[in-house]
Amino acid sequence: MRILKSDNGRENNILIVIAGATAVGKTALSIELAKTLQTEILSADARQFYKETVIGTATPSMDERQGVIHHFIGHLSIFDYYNVAMYEEEALKLLNELFKKNQYLILTGGSGLYIDAICSGIDALPDIDIHLRENLKERLDAEGLPSLLKELQSLDEAYYHVVDKQNPKRVLRALEVCLQTGQTYTSLRTQPAKQRHFDIVKICLTLARDTLNQQINLRTDEMLKNGFLEEAKALFPYRDLNSLNTVGYKELFAYFDGKYSLPTCIEKIKTHTRRYAKRQMTWFRKNNEYLYFEPSQYDDIINFITNRNKEGFFLQKNISC
């Protein structure tokens, strides 16, 4: 066996994935890691792609980003059309360029689908008949999301158990594919992984549930203190955009509509964020490639990454020394 060499003469290029639930501490750890390794960060948090939603998505501040180049943060408007396939194409092109000058790069975020797109690829899914799409949207308006979730469970039970059940867009997309192709959405999303010309280390940050819940509550209060209410108010006229169909904004929009009081709204944000965090961890735990650390275990994480490489963990098999 021998350690593979990349085209730039270094040992294999390595993409370090830092995943985990919202508020677990991915941003701080990724930035510290990037400074240690003198490298750059790519965001895989779809909520942070939009420049208008800085506070409500806990986008890293300019002070936090000082000294570390970040990509895929605030590069879109809420009015832009964007999807995971576009992200895969753009991110892989950027990785190819950045790996020419960096042995390590960091991919971090809580959007499991976007992380999987970079690590394994998103299979080409069929174009959907416009009439089918419109019919499902009409059913969503008339019957509500629970009815469509029940149908999704009957058509693709595996995806039903991992889909974000508060996200109509994800549910509709899966139903569209199932109904048009007669196959499960799961089967079309789980084809053999695409070839990647870099190694991948997958790390998932974790905390005790009570600790994470406390951090979620504290961060929600901090976001409101920093102007989340005002940010959401400015976006209220555009509340029907898919880009704003996310935890925090949805609850504040309902508050602006007079559906409940501000204290109730804040409690709903905290509750729904905790549920969102639980769904994120469900997604990551189904992938047995992740290694779990607490955010405080920075020394263990950096030693693990560098020692794996030095000790030849990334080896091409079936090649004699």
Q: Residue 263 maps to which CATH number?
A: 3.40.50.300
In this structure, are 60 and 119 located in the same domain? yes
In this structure, are 102 and 76 located in the same domain? yes
Contact 293, 301 (CB under 8 A): yes
Q: Residue 125 — pLDDT band, cuts 50, 70, 90?
A: low
The CATH code of the domain that includes 162 is: 1.10.20.140
Q: Residue 223 — pLDDT band, cuts 50, 70, 90?
A: very high
Of 23 and 320, which is predicted with more confidence? 23
In this structure, are 178 and 239 located in the same domain? no
Distance CA 310, CA 3 (A): 9
pLDDT exceeding 70 applies to what percent of the chain?
88
pLDDT of 313 > 50? The answer is no
Give how far the C-alpha of residue 302 lies from the chain's centroid of Cα atoms, to the nearest Å. Answer: 22
Q: What are the DSSP E strand ranges found in 216-303?
A: 291-293
Return the pLDDT at 192: 65
CA nearest to 120, candidates 184, 198, 46, 185: 198
pLDDT one-digit tens code per residue, 161-212 = 999 898 898 899 899 888 877 888 888 776 666 788 899 999 999 999 999 9
Assess if residue 10 is contained within a domain. yes
In this structure, are 261 and 305 located in the same domain? yes
In this structure, are 138 and 119 located in the same domain? no
CB atoms within 10 A of CB 211: 12
Distance CA 297, CA 25 (A): 11
pLDDT one-digit tens code per residue, 230-273 = 999 999 999 989 889 899 999 999 999 999 999 999 999 999 99
In this structure, are 240 and 94 located in the same domain? yes
Return the pLDDT at 9: 42
Distance CA 272, CA 147 (A): 21
In this structure, are 105 and 241 located in the same domain? yes
Contact 181, 123 (CB under 8 A): no
Inter-axis angle of helices 298-310 and 26-37, to 10 degrees? 40
Distance CA 251, CA 274 (A): 14
Return the pLDDT at 191: 63
Assess if residue 8 is contained within a domain. yes
In this structure, are 238 and 156 located in the same domain? no
Structural domain including 82 reads 2-123+191-316
Assess if residue 321 is contained within a domain. no
In this structure, are 103 and 246 located in the same domain? yes
In this structure, are 199 and 171 located in the same domain? no
- Mean pLDDT across the chain, nearest whole number? 88
Provide the pairing of β-strand 104-108 with 199-205.
Answer: unpaired
Distance CA 228, CA 248 (A): 9
In this structure, are 118 and 261 located in the same domain? yes
pLDDT one-digit tens code per residue, 57-95 = 999 999 999 999 999 999 999 999 888 888 999 999 999
Domain count, the chain: 2
Assess if residue 18 is contained within a domain. yes
Assess if residue 76 is contained within a domain. yes
pLDDT of 127 > 80? The answer is no
pLDDT of 311 > 80? The answer is no
